[in-house]
Structure 1
Amino acid sequence: MNIRIIFICSLLLLSCEPDKKAANSIKLAHGLGVTHPVHEAMVYMADLVAKKSDGKLTLEIYPSSQLGSEKQCLELLQIGSLGMTKVSAAVMENFSPDLRVLGYPYLFRDDEHRFKVYDGAIGKQLLSGSEKYWLKGLTYFDAGNRSFYTKNTPIDKPEDLQGLKVRVMQSPTAIEMVKTFGGSPTPISWGELYTALQQGVVDGAENNLPSFYSSKHYEVCKFLSLDEHTSVPDILAISTIVWDKLKDSEKKWITEAAEEATVYQHKLWKEAEQEALEEVEKAGVEVSYPDKSLFEEKSESMLKALKEKDEHLYQLAQQIKKVK
């Protein structure tokens, strides 16, 4: 064979051969904006993974619902078409029923109690419970406390929600809670909520302070009532299909980076809450601090009803309340 032809063929074969040093990349999609503290924590995590792996493993982050809603991203994880996502525990309860317990109102005494539950045996048990649905929970990101915000009237007591259409997540527990308080729960995806508020599809919504601010919902809703009814964490999840294909070293890099990013995210969250409160007040939002006991008393019927229909979940809620 002509030497020139052999040389050219060799070059072509080399160019087609996979680069053994090329990085393994995992796509991570979520619905938050790039200024949100949870997104910043995931960027921090991606940097840690790249450093720990010396560039052999990378995370590609797709924010702002680029690859779909929270529910759609979870479904993509289940078939292995997407590697990782960040979703609210309230959305994930549709795939891992025991997570419903975290959506019950006034479950935690304070932030310290909350973090002890997340980091302890109960929190780990809840994270692992989704693995049979092809979703592996890696860590909880703090999502603070959720409160009501509305367009036309403040919410100072549960009765003020009467007749109001309130956006909730795709969560049976959140729907039940708003009904218990007297409102009309309306599930709408996060990405569509600003327009829904503008057009009057809903009269208000409920979320944490940084999300209220970063979403610019304060431009439409001028009443924020800090009743802090629930503390639903975000969950960073990875597809078990993707996870099972990783080497032990890659799993270690991801696990360690997630733990370190969680500590960093807690710091970012506190700063973001303070900034959000200051900024929405500057923007003319009327911030009120209603008597939480009125909402807590109203929500007690939810736990009583839970005892009748799901003894397992009721006992789980009681265990959480007893964590010291």
Structure 2
Amino acid sequence: MHAPDVEPWNEEYLWAVEEASGGQIKINILWAGEHPYKWADMLAVCRARLVDGVSSQLSLYTSATEPIVALLDLPFIWTSPDEFWDLYNSDEFADLREALLNSIWEKWNQVELVSVAAGVYVFTADRFVEDWDSLKGVRIRSYTKEFDKMIQTLNGTPVSLSWGDVYPALQRDIVDGWVTNIAAPYGAGWYEIEGMNRTTVANFALGLYSTTINKDAWDELPPDLQEVFRKVAADQSEMLLGVMLQDNKDALWLAMKEYDVRFAFMPPAFGEEARSAMKHSIWDPWAQEVGGEAAELLQRVEEFHAEWIKR
């Protein structure tokens, strides 16, 4: 897991499991920096049972290993966490789940414990992102191939950096800003850096943040303790989404108060133009590159969006 100030909602789920078990379950959390593993290797790390479970943003950190799951986080494919969460909890997602999640959990010997929508993403730099000229000459931190293409499509310059390298890179003027949520950078202190005071709320959200457990470790648990994990997940999934969204709202308010950060929403017309551009520069090439059922799955997600925006 990243750090307690980055994803407190996830820690709350694990605490709730411990409490509901009456002390029978003890979970030792290893935060980033407390383990030697890279995020991209988490599926393999969990399968090898170097740890018993992992929590990560599935498609962002594992799409190099399992390219099909990048569909969940293609830039601008979801216009809000509500859109993704509605699909995730719908009947339409049943067979999508089989292709995108269940088959991958089985392949990597894992059981999904709880998942939550990853939330709204924002651009932060010394300027707002309002049009096609806003990011010209601006170096934006990236961490996936798809994000590289998104930043390039918006006429910015992607700079690939791991999470721990961002703060010193901002200090040394290696990068001019970032794109991620609000709570995580606030917790990591990025808003402290001079000039990082303009946050643009984009009309896109990312997909799934999942916590999984090694299946062998799961099978070793007695049925009553397995039920504890399931029941807490069922009881808290909606609450965890609310906590995550509230964390971002609180972080934005604190950033405004403490660092004089100003925020604006991406102009709707430009947001639609950007979304259309992403389809041509990222979504369609992704489907062609991945092959198999990727194009069909992408089409179904686009059809869901077309119906969802009519509501």
**TM > 0.5:** yes
Do the aligned residues in 2 keep the contact of 1:135 with 1:240 (CA within 8 Å)? yes
1:303 to 262, 269, 283: 283
Structure 1 partner of 2:260: 284
1:105-144 correspondence to structure 2 within 5 Å? 105-120=75-90, 121=94, 124-125=97-98, 126-131=100-105, 132-144=107-119
Distance change >3 Å, CA 219–CA 232, structure 1 → 2:
farther
Pair 1:66-2:34 in alignment: yes
Q: Deviations over 1:6-48 (max 9, x none)?
A: xxxxxxxxxxxxxxxxxxxxxxxx113x234x32x33332333
Structure 2 partner of 1:155: 129
State the distance in 2 between where 1:239 and 1:177 align: 34
Q: Deviations over 1:282-320 (max 9, x none)?
A: 221232322212322321212333454336223212222
State the distance in 1 between where 2:242 and 2:212 align: 21
Distance change >3 Å, CA 75–CA 198, structure 1 → 2:
farther
Structure 2 partner of 1:314: 295
1:164-183 correspondence to structure 2 within 5 Å? 164-169=138-143, 171-183=144-156
Count of residues in correspondence between the two structures? 290
State the distance in 2 between where 1:311 and 1:160 align: 37
Pair 1:95-2:75 in alignment: no
Distance change >3 Å, CA 134–CA 201, structure 1 → 2:
farther
1:247-266 correspondence to structure 2 within 5 Å? 247-266=222-241
2:207 to 209, 228, 232: 232
State the distance in 1 between where 2:96 and 2:171 align: 37
Q: How large is the RMSD of aligned CA atoms in angstroms?
A: 2.5
State the distance in 2 between where 1:136 and 1:97 align: 20
| Structure 1 residue 156 displacement after superposition | 1.9
Do the aligned residues in 1 keep the contact of 2:81 with 2:120 (CA within 8 Å)? no
Do the aligned residues in 2 keep the contact of 1:303 with 1:314 (CA within 8 Å)? no
Structure 1 counterpart of 2:102, which letter? S
| Structure 1 residue 64 displacement after superposition | 4.2
Matched residue SS, 1:57: coil
State the distance in 1 between where 2:222 and 2:197 align: 50
| Structure 1 residue 219 displacement after superposition | 1.4
Matched residue SS, 1:304: helix
Mean Cα displacement is larger for which, 236-245 or 202-211?
236-245
| Structure 1 residue 230 displacement after superposition | 3.6
Do the aligned residues in 1 keep the contact of 2:122 with 2:199 (CA within 8 Å)? yes
Do the aligned residues in 1 keep the contact of 2:148 with 2:158 (CA within 8 Å)? yes
Do the aligned residues in 2 keep the contact of 1:144 with 1:232 (CA within 8 Å)? yes
Distance change >3 Å, CA 192–CA 307, structure 1 → 2:
closer
Distance change >3 Å, CA 235–CA 46, structure 1 → 2:
closer
| Structure 1 residue 199 displacement after superposition | 1.4
State the distance in 2 between where 1:51 and 1:160 align: 49
Q: Which ranges of structure 2 fall in alignment gaps of 5 or more residues?
A: none
Structure 1 counterpart of 2:135, which letter? L
Structure 1 counterpart of 2:186, which letter? Y
Do the aligned residues in 1 keep the contact of 2:153 with 2:277 (CA within 8 Å)? yes
| Structure 1 residue 207 displacement after superposition | 0.5
Distance change >3 Å, CA 106–CA 127, structure 1 → 2:
same
Structure 2 counterpart of 1:161, which letter? L
State the distance in 1 between where 2:204 and 2:285 align: 18
| Structure 1 residue 107 displacement after superposition | 1.9
| Structure 1 residue 82 displacement after superposition | 0.6
Moved over 6 A (4+): none
Matched residue SS, 1:233: strand
Pair 1:53-2:21 in alignment: yes
Q: Which ranges of structure 1 fall in alignment gaps of 5 or more residues?
A: 1-29
Structure 1 counterpart of 2:285, which letter? A
